[in-house]
C-alpha cells in the first residue's frame, strides 16, 4: 500500500538557560589560553551566506496508515546502535521495541500509560507509585515485572554505566550516594510487590512523570541484570534488542538498515503495519535526497533535519507533507557549571541573560525561523505566565556583574557541541555579547579535549 511521505521541520528554540540539559558549558581556564574576541554578531546578510544549522524532522500522528499491512520506511542517522542509555536517536527505536512506563501523548496534553497502567503522586510530587501492567511479556516470552523497572533505573544512575540520560534520575533519593560510591543502588527506587514500584525523590517535583520518567526506557533484567555495568555499552543486546513494544527486532545490517516486524501479542493490540524498515544515512544531504526520491517515508529529527535555507523548497514539494512550524524543537541554550562559586551567584546568571541580544540572534543567525523562548520546554503548560523575559539590556548586565564582584580578567572555558557553521556563528556572537559586559569566554569544540 502507499503512504504519503512526511517531512517535519521543527522550530529550534533559542534559549539561554542556566543549569539545564547538555549544550555549551562554561568552566574557567587559565588566562593564557584565551584568544581576544574580535568577531561581531553576524548580520542578516552574512548569516544568509553561511551553511545553515539543521532544523529537525519527525513523523506526526497524521502519518499513521489507515489500513492494516504494509511497510513503513524511516530514515535515521548512523549511530543509533549505541543503545538507549547513551544516545538520543536510540530513544526513537524505543518507541517501537523498548518502552517507558508512560509516554507523552502526541497532543502534549498528558501521558499515555504504557508499561504502567496507572500511577499516583504523593506529597506534592516527592513520592510516586507506579502500578505496572500484568501479563506483559518480553519478546522472548519472559514476563515483565517490577524487577525490570528497578534494574533499569539503577542502570541509568550507575556511574560505571555513564549514561547520557543520567540527569533524568538525579532527583531520586540515593543518587548522590550512588555516584559518590557510598551506595550501590538508588535508595529511592523500591519494589513494593511484583507489579508496583515506588519512587522517592529528594525534592517534590509534580512534573517528574512528564519531564524525567518519559526518558527511561525499561530494559530486560533477565538479559542484562548480570552484565557488569562497565560492559553494558558493548553488550550484543543493542544489536539484537528484546523489548516489550509493538514491534520485534528482525534483522540489522550494519550502517545500512534495521527491520522490525509486527508484534501480534503487543499488550495494547497488534499494530497496523507489518514492518518498519529504518534506513541509515551518514549525513543530512543524503537523507534529504532519499526522501525527495521517495526512498523513505519520513526523516528523523535526531542529528539534524532540513537546513533553514531549504525549508521553502520542501514546503513547495507537492509529494511531501511539510510541517515547517511544528513547535517541538531542539533548544539552543547555555548550561553553566554550578560547582563554580561565581556561577552560583544568581546575579551573574541574570547578567548573562541580559547581555545577549537573543532577538537579534534569531533574526540574523537563525534567519527568523525559530521562536524565542525562556525555557527549554516548548509546551505551554510548562511555562509560567510570569516568567522573566530578559530583554537585551547590557547596562543592567554590567550593573549586576559589578554588584556580584565579577573578575573581568577571568577566562571561562566555553564548550560547544554542534559544529555546523550556524552553530559556530552563534558561538562567536555570544562570545562578543558577553565580552562587551566583561565576561570573557574561550570557545572550544566538545571533541577538542
Q: Of 301 and 308, which is predicted with more confidence?
A: 308
- pLDDT of amino acid 300: 62
Domain for residue 308, yes or no? no
- What tens digit of pLDDT does each residue of 103-134 get? 988 776 789 999 999 999 999 999 999 999 99
Instruction: Indicate if the pLDDT at residue 22 is higher than 50.
Output: no
- pLDDT of amino acid 383: 78
Q: Of 89 and 102, which is predicted with more confidence?
A: 102
Q: Of 383 and 138, which is predicted with more confidence?
A: 138
Instruction: Indicate if the pLDDT at residue 173 is higher than 60.
Output: yes
| CATH code for the domain of 181 | 3.90.76.10
Domain for residue 263, yes or no? yes
Instruction: Indicate if the pLDDT at residue 199 is higher than 80.
Output: yes
Domain for residue 209, yes or no? yes
Co-location of 216 and 118 in the same domain: yes
Identify the band that residue 327 occupies on the pLDDT scale cut at 50, 70 and 90. low
- pLDDT of amino acid 37: 31
| CATH code for the domain of 269 | 3.40.190.10
Identify the band that residue 449 occupies on the pLDDT scale cut at 50, 70 and 90. low
- Of 121-130, 302-311, 384-393, 440-449, where does the model show the most confidence? 121-130
Co-location of 42 and 108 in the same domain: no
Co-location of 104 and 233 in the same domain: yes
Domain for residue 65, yes or no? yes
Co-location of 421 and 284 in the same domain: no
Instruction: Indicate if the pLDDT at residue 23 is higher than 60.
Output: no
Q: Of 259 and 380, which is predicted with more confidence?
A: 259
Co-location of 354 and 385 in the same domain: yes
Domain for residue 318, yes or no? no
Co-location of 250 and 210 in the same domain: no
| CATH code for the domain of 426 | 3.10.105.10
Q: Are strands 411-416 and 440-445 parallel, antiparallel or unpaired?
A: parallel
Q: What percent of the chain is predicted at pLDDT more than 90?
A: 54
Identify the band that residue 378 occupies on the pLDDT scale cut at 50, 70 and 90. low
Co-location of 228 and 118 in the same domain: yes
Co-location of 48 and 72 in the same domain: no
**Three cell numbers at 446?**
566538545
The total number of structural domains that make up the chain: 3
Identify the band that residue 53 occupies on the pLDDT scale cut at 50, 70 and 90. very low
Query: What mean pLDDT comes out for the span 52-60?
Result: 35
Query: What mean pLDDT comes out for the span 258-275?
Result: 96
- pLDDT of amino acid 212: 94
Identify the band that residue 323 occupies on the pLDDT scale cut at 50, 70 and 90. low
- pLDDT of amino acid 384: 82
- pLDDT of amino acid 362: 86
Domain for residue 230, yes or no? yes
- pLDDT of amino acid 447: 63
Instruction: Indicate if the pLDDT at residue 213 is higher than 90.
Output: yes
For 186, residues 6+ apart whose C-beta sits below 8 A from its C-beta are 153, 154, 157, 169, 172, 173, 174, 175, 178
Domain that holds residue 144: 79-237
Identify the band that residue 379 occupies on the pLDDT scale cut at 50, 70 and 90. low
Co-location of 159 and 277 in the same domain: no
Co-location of 170 and 63 in the same domain: no
Identify the band that residue 315 occupies on the pLDDT scale cut at 50, 70 and 90. confident
Least trusted range by pLDDT, from 21-35, 218-232, 277-291 = 21-35
Instruction: Indicate if the pLDDT at residue 33 is higher than 80.
Output: no
Co-location of 92 and 70 in the same domain: no
Identify the band that residue 433 occupies on the pLDDT scale cut at 50, 70 and 90. very high
Q: Are strands 111-113 and 320-326 parallel, antiparallel or unpaired?
A: unpaired
Q: What percent of the chain is predicted at pLDDT more than 70?
A: 77
Domain for residue 315, yes or no? no
Co-location of 18 and 42 in the same domain: yes
Domain for residue 325, yes or no? no
- pLDDT of amino acid 64: 42
- pLDDT of amino acid 281: 86
Burial bucket for residue 19 (CB in 10 Å: 0-12, 13-18, 19+): exposed
Amino acid at each position: 500500500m502507499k503512504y504519503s511521505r512526511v517531512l517535519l521541520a521543527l522550530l529550534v528554540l533559542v534559549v539561554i538557560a542556566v543549569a539545564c540539559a547538555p549544550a555549551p558549558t562554561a568552566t574557567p581556564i587559565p588566562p593564557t589560553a584565551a584568544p581576544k574576541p574580535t568577531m561581531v554578531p553576524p548580520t542578516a546578510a552574512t548569516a544568509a551566506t553561511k551553511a545553515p544549522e539543521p532544523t529537525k524532522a519527525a513523523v506526526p500522528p497524521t502519518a499513521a496508515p489507515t489500513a492494516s499491512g504494509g511497510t513503513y520506511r524511516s530514515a535515521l542517522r548512523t549511530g543509533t546502535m549505541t543503545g538507549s542509555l547513551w544516545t538520543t536517536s536510540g530513544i526513537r527505536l524505543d518507541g517501537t521495541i523498548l518502552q517507558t512506563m508512560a509516554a507523552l501523548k502526541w497532543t502534549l496534553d498528558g501521558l499515555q500509560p504504557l508499561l504502567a497502567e496507572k500511577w499516583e503522586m504523593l506529597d506534592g510530587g516527592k513520592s510516586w507509585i507506579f502500578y505496572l501492567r500484568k501479563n506483559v511479556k518480553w519478546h522472548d516470552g519472559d514476563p515483565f515485572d517490577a524487577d525490570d523497572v528497578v534494574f533499569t533505573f539503577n542502570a541509568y544512575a550507575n556511574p560505571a554505566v555513564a549514561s547520557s540520560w543520567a540527569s533524568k534520575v538525579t532527583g531520586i533519593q540515593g543518587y548522590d550516594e550512588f555516584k559518590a560510591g557510598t551506595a550501590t543502588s538508588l535508595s529511592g527506587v523500591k519494589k513494593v510487590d511484583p507489579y508496583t514500584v515506588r519512587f522517592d525523590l529528594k525534592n517534590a517535583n509534580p512534573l517528574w512523570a512528564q519531564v524525567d520518567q518519559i526518558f527511561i526506557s525499561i530494559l530486560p533484567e533477565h538479559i542484562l541484570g548480570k552484565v557488569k555495568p562497565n560492559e553494558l555499552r558493548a553488550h550484543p543486546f543493542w544489536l539484537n534488542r528484546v523489548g516489550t513494544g509493538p514491534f520485534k527486532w528482525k534483522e540489522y545490517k550494519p550502517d545500512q538498515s534495521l527491520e522490525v516486524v509486527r508484534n501480534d501479542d503487543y499488550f495494547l493490540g497488534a499494530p497496523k503495519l507489518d514492518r518498519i524498515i529504518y534506513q541509515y544515512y551518514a549525513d543530512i544531504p543524503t537523507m534529504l535526497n532519499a526522501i525527495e526520491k521517495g526512498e523513505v517515508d519520513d526523516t528523523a529529527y535526531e542529528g539534524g533535519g532540513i537546513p533553514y535555507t531549504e525549508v521553502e523548497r520542501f514546503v513547495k514539494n507537492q509529494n511531501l507533507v511539510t510541517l515547517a512550524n511544528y513547535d517541538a524543537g531542539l533548544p539552543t541554550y547555555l548550561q553553566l557549571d554550578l560547582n563554580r562559586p561565581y556561577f552560583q551567584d544568581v546575579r551573574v546568571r541574570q547578567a548573562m541573560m541580559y547581555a545577549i541580544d537573543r532577538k537579534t540572534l534569531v533574526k540574523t543567525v537563525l534567519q527568523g525561523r525559530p521562536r524565542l523562548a525562556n525555557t527549554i520546554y516548548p509546551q505551554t503548560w510548562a511555562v509560567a505566565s510570569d516568567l522573566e523575559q530578559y530583554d537585551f539590556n547590557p547596562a543592567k548586565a554590567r550593573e549586576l556583574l559589578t554588584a556580584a564582584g565579577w573578575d573581568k580578567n577571568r577566562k571561562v572555558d566555553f564548550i560547544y557541541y554542534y559544529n555546523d557553521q550556524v552553530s559556530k556563528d552563534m558561538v562567536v556572537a555570544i562570545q562578543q555579547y558577553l565580552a562587551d559586559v566583561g565576561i570573557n569566554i574561550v570557545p572550544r569544540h566538545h571533541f577538542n579535549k
